[in-house]
């Protein structure tokens, strides 16, 4: 993995070949990602590979704060995008890159593609969104769990019902949560289809039984990790030690300073566009 989604490079994110692999599982909420993440991890570990899994809002820097902001139902679309970008950059520096340098298979439950899709349906400027996530390394494979809206709705109802944010109620003014969910998810699924084509996702039919979905995912993942498995079988394998992430130093961290500069420039771009839009109304 030696290229990125864009030209922006931040310190701590090396432009280098690493022995590990980055495998992304994408798909909308309720599609079954958590189940498949667990199955994939168990299978990879049983094959002798060291696995590290991560996902949205799990970072130490911003993860809990995102959850707190969502509880108030007041987070604006630009704030939301910047918050998630901060969480991703933190996990990239402290989890994903160290694990890949150590030879781990990194499984991530969603990646910047979900964040780009969410921002797009909320009307964020495409160029601004691309610039925001341009530092993200390109994964070794993106596995997209595809589902139709007609199959998604019953699953979500069976698993607990509609969620405020998953229904897009922060930007949609609908009479019912159901109506908002249907329209929001329809727009989100359309964005995923565009991203799947643009970024060459490996598409898996998520409407199949769980075992069949897993079998299809296994086939795609095997293409990525087969050499690692063969190397393990030919040697006395010892799981690589996961390096400890650097201590959080918000004041002096080179990465934090670079990220602040990037976010500041994006905020300035966004403010200018907002002012321009106001003049036109």
- Does 36 fall in a domain? yes
- Does 139 fall in a domain? yes
Give per-residue pLDDT as tens, 223-241: 999 988 887 665 554 555 6
Residue reference for tokens 């990220």: 259
Question: Rounded to an integer, what distance in angstroms lies between the CA atom of residue 51 and that of residue 49?
Answer: 6
Residue range(s) defining the domain that contains residue 253: 21-280
Nearest 5°: the CA angle 202, 26, 106 is 90
Question: Rounded to an integer, what distance in angstroms lies between the CA atom of residue 70 and that of residue 19?
Answer: 37
- Does 8 fall in a domain? no
- Does 13 fall in a domain? no
253, pLDDT greater than 50: yes
- Does 51 fall in a domain? yes
SS3 128: helix
CA 4 to chain centre: 15
- Does 214 fall in a domain? yes
Q: Are 165 and 171 in contact (CB under 8 A)?
A: no
Helices (H) and strands (E) in the chain, counts: 10, 5
CATH number for the domain spanning 166: value is: 3.40.50.300
Task: Give the number of domains in the chain.
Answer: 1
List beta partners, residue 105.
21, 51
SS3 56: coil
Give per-residue pLDDT as tens, 42-99: 999 999 999 999 998 776 777 677 777 677 667 788 988 988 898 899 999 889 999 9
Residue spans of beta strands (DSSP E) within 202-269: 202-205
- In three-state form (DSSP H/G/I as H, E/B as E, the rest C), the secondary structure along 103-119 is CCEEEEECCHHHHHHHH
List beta partners, residue 24.
108, 142
22, pLDDT greater than 50: yes
Percent of the chain scored above 90 by pLDDT? 51
């Amino acid at each position: 993995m030696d290229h990125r989604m864009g030209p922006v490079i931040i310190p701590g994110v090396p432009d280098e070949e690493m022995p590990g692999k980055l495998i992304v599982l994408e798909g909308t909420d309720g599609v079954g990602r958590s189940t498949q993440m667990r199955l994939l991890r168990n299978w990879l570990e049983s094959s002798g590979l060291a696995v590290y899994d991560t996902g949205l809002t799990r970072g130490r820097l911003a993860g809990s704060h995102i959850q707190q902001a969502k509880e108030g139902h007041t987070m604006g679309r630009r704030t939301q995008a910047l918050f998630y970008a901060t969480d991703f950059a933190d996990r990239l520096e402290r989890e994903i890159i160290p694990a890949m340098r150590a030879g781990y298979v990194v499984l991530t439950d969603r990646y910047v593609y979900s964040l780009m899709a969410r921002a797009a349906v909320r009307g964020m400027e495409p160029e601004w969104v691309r610039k925001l996530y341009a530092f993200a390394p390109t994964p070794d494979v993106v596995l997209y769990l595809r589902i139709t809206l007609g199959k998604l709705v019953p699953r979500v109802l069976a698993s607990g019902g509609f969620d405020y944010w998953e229904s897009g109620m922060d930007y949609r003014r609908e009479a019912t949560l159901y109506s908002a969910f249907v329209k929001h998810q329809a727009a989100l699924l359309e964005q995923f289809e565009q991203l799947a084509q643009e970024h060459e996702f490996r598409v898996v039919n998520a409407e199949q039984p769980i075992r069949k979905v897993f079998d299809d995912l296994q086939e795609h993942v095997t293409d990525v990790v087969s050499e690692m498995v063969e190397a393990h079988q030919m040697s006395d394998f010892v799981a690589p030690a996961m390096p400890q992430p650097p201590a959080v130093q918000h004041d002096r961290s080179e990465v934090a300073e670079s990220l602040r500069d990037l976010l500041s420039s994006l905020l300035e771009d966004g403010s200018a566009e907002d002012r321009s839009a106001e003049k036109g109304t």
